[in-house]
Chains A and B, each alone.
Chain A
Amino acid sequence: MNDLVNQLWLVPALPLLAAGVLALTPRHRRGLAAGLAIGTLALSLVLSVAAWVSTLGATGPDGFRAVRNFPWLTWGDHTLHLGWVLDPLSAVMLVMVSFVGLVIFVYSTGYMAGDENFTRFFGFLSLFAGAMLAVVMANSLVLLFAAWELVGLASYLLIGFWFQKPAAAAAARKAFLTTRVGDLGLFAAMLWLYDATGTLVFFDGGRGCLEAPAVAALAGQTVMGGLTLSAALSLLVLLGAAGKSGQVPLHVWLPDAMEGPTPVSALIHAATMVAAGVFLVARLFPLFAAQPEGASGVPPALQAVAWLGAVTAVFAALIAVAQTDLKRILAYSTVSQLGYMFLGLGVGGVAVGMFHLLTHAFFKALLFLGAGAVIHGCHGEQDIRRLGGLGRLMPVTFATYAVGMMALAGVPLLFSGFWSKEAILHAAHTWPASPGPFYLGLFGALLTAFYMTRQVVFVFFGPYRGEKGAPTQPGKVPHESPPLLTVPLILLAAGAILLGFFGTPAWPGLQAYLEPARVGLTGPDLARLVSAEALKLMALSTAVVLAGLALGWWCYGRRPLTDPTAPDALELAQPGLFRLLRERLRVDELYEATVVRWHTGWAALGDRLDRWVWGGLVLLIQGLTVGLAWLGRALDEFGVNDGFDTACERLRRGGTRLAATATGRLPGYLRGAMAGAAALGLLLLWGGCR
């Protein structure tokens, strides 16, 4: 048991190791790449399941919790610790991430079979999965932040995987920069938290920053305007989570991330990237929920979370109604469902939000992989107006896609999405702060059912509209995908159905597992399911969902679309509103007009400064330097060099002349000596005698 915790680091380390090896693997070793990536992740899955099983039987106020911390960096009096934690939250996330990731990996071997950079793709996928697993089990905000940034890097690499496409490169850049805005908040929160508590370890036997003493201390301090320190920190963290999880107003990168290969979209939208933000809030939930002593009501940080989620849920669902790109609709539905998760966290706590995260991971991965199968089968066509009639041509894909669609729409009783959304709506209904989020959530559920019906009708019903209505050409007919693509779909469809039964009101197993302090686990009890209050809400949301489905069918299903260029049914009724929605409420344009323009203005100013002011200075200094250099050169060449040369030449000539006198002949020397003696004698005689 304890051994298992000590070896838990292997779970993220194995995929990361695979990523490292694959980075050095030659491009043609495809089998090795796929085998290594899938093998390591499968091992991680086995370890995760073992860890999860070991947490099951535990009891206590917080459930099972085992940590392993170790010092990482020491300077002066400060020591930063890293570590990992095994508790229900991390265990269930580990299992989900590694399982969904594994399914997507297997699917990718089929989907990416024709890509020449197959090896690179699997290397990036492994990096992505490993980083996410590290986020999930981190017991220290530093480790979490590092893994968080690795997730960002991997998403950048994968979204821009087809970087030859300018749109993909731009989308990757956008994703990276937009999430960076949020990460700034998280980073600031991290520094502030360290300043306030002196530790960044979450759980450390009472000394961690998420445990009661530290949280109480944080909640007791006020920073400004009555905001407690814990609330201020939570809002900063929320900024980071919103960036990663694509909440309004930082959602713009998520739909553009569709430029990556479809398995990447599935991975980003289901298991890894966007789930990280929700997970972060769930992990730091004690901080969000902290209240100063004696205060009552809903903590402001949780109110912010709930409202942000509710607004995002409706905002993105509205946009999804008018989109025509198969994957883009799903992308906006992801944004919307992430809004629901935040709403669930805000109004109902960790268990409610995490329940939706888990069910959503399954059915959204299913939907994306199904969309990938459709795109694969229709030779790259993504416009739902040019698809159609695929229900007959691709039966397996259709059946599994329908399961995913009904789970997402929240069709009652059988599908997991219904139960998790029901839990959120139930919690929102009883939320004391405001009834607003509840109604927003209901409206969002209506929209979800509507746009998913629209999409499914467009794609799977009516006649096939590709190829200008002539699908008879051999090799161009849409075809069912090979088993390598459909088996993962079937697995995920099973998950999308079964997972719901772990969180029904009759047997709230997941809630009890995640939050034993709040929900006591008893045996299955059908009486809770049919209690008046629960029944009333379930009836209401069932009515809403059915209304959405019926409305969608009434708008799009009655008369099957035959002409891809015909205007949308809603466009005929509300042209202005529909155009606004199709243009995605012009958020991108707004950013273009404000942030980007502001940025461009500064850049232009900087450019002008550089070019004229600093450039002029540089030119001036350059001219002066060159002038000086010329002067020095002239001095050297004509003064020093020539002078020196001349002196040398003269010395040489003088030496030669002198050397000529040394003939080596003795008589000559003797004559010289005698002449000298004679000269001396004469000198003595005439001048120096006295």
Chain B
Amino acid sequence: MSPLERALVVSALLFGIGLAGALTRRNAILVLAGIELMLTAVNLNVIAFWRHGGQTASAAGPAFVLFVIAVAAAETAVGLALIIAWFRQRRTVQLDEADTLKG
């Protein structure tokens, strides 16, 4: 098994764990954590393809990853802020009680 394949397997596992968490958890914070996991898996994929793709001279891979991390951090901050606001209003963070987002 080549280092790339190992990295991809880890990444796929990470993505699967994150996806499972995001889909099955009812706590909004845990869903957010699951989404973070999936993003991490993506990052891992990107850096692995950069490291083993033979184009290490350019800094595109790390640059993308850094961007994604920054955006993910911002996204998490917004998400957490939404959750706090929501909690203040409804006294809950259970996602299955959040059913007002419909037409």
Contacts and interface: CB of A to CB of B under 8 A. Distances in A.
Interface of A: 659, 662-667, 669-671, 674
B103 A665 contact: no
Interface in B17-31: 19, 22-23, 26, 28, 31
Given A662-B103, A666-B28, A667-B31, 18 more contacts: A659-B103, A663-B99, A663-B102, A664-B100, A664-B102, A665-B98, A666-B31, A666-B95, A666-B98, A666-B101, A667-B23, A667-B26, A667-B95, A669-B101, A670-B22, A670-B31, A671-B23, A674-B19
Nearest 8 interchain pairs by C-beta: A664-B102, A664-B99, A662-B102, A664-B101, A666-B95, A662-B103, A665-B99, A667-B95
A662 B101 CA distance: 8
A664 B98 CA distance: 7
B19 A665 contact: no
B34 to A, nearest CB: 9
Nearest to B98: A666
Main DSSP-derived SS at the A contact region: helix
Interface string B1-41: 00000000000000000010011001010010000000000
A667 B102 contact: no
B59 to A, nearest CB: 28
Contacts of A666: 28, 31, 95, 98, 101
A665 B23 contact: no
Interface in B30-57: 31
A138 to B, nearest CB: 87
20 contacts: A662-B102, A662-B103, A663-B99, A664-B98, A664-B99, A664-B100, A664-B101, A664-B102, A665-B96, A665-B99, A666-B31, A666-B95, A667-B31, A667-B95, A667-B96, A669-B101, A670-B22, A670-B31, A674-B19, A674-B23
A638 B19 CA distance: 55
Nearest to B35: A670
Contacts, number: 32
Contacts of B26: 667
Contacts of B103: 659, 662
A667 B102 CA distance: 13
Contacts of A659: 103
A553 B103 CA distance: 119
Nearest to A671: B23
Interface in B75-103: 95-96, 98-103
B5 to A, nearest CB: 17
Contact of B23 (A663, A664, A670): A670
Nearest to A667: B95
B92 to A, nearest CB: 13
Nearest to A666: B95
Nearest to B97: A665
Nearest to A669: B101
Nearest to A658: B103
A561 B100 CA distance: 120
A665 to B, nearest CB: 5
Contacts of A667: 23, 26, 31, 95-96
Contacts of B19: 674
Contacts of A662: 102-103
A299 to B, nearest CB: 105
Contacts of B102: 662-664
Nearest to B100: A664
Contacts of A663: 99, 102
A207 B13 CA distance: 125
Contacts of A669: 101
A437 to B, nearest CB: 111
B103 to A, nearest CB: 5
Nearest to A664: B102
B84 to A, nearest CB: 16
Contacts of B101: 664-666, 669
Nearest to B99: A664
Nearest to B19: A674
A670 B22 CA distance: 8
A360 to B, nearest CB: 103
A283 B19 CA distance: 121
B54 to A, nearest CB: 21
Nearest to A662: B102
B85 to A, nearest CB: 15
A670 B38 CA distance: 13
A662 B102 CA distance: 6
Nearest to B22: A670
A669 B102 CA distance: 11
A447 B32 CA distance: 136
A688 to B, nearest CB: 20
A517 B81 CA distance: 125
Contacts of A670: 22-23, 31
Contacts of B96: 665, 667
Contacts of B28: 666
A664 to B, nearest CB: 3
A659 B28 CA distance: 25
Q: Which residue among A662, A664, A667 has the maximum number of chain B CB atoms within 10 Å of its CB?
A: A667
Contacts of B100: 664
A177 to B, nearest CB: 82
Contacts of A671: 23
A674 B95 CA distance: 17
Contacts of B95: 665-667
A671 to B, nearest CB: 6
Contacts of A674: 19, 23
Contacts of B23: 667, 670-671, 674
B13 to A, nearest CB: 16
Nearest to B103: A662
A327 B67 CA distance: 127
Contacts of B98: 664-666
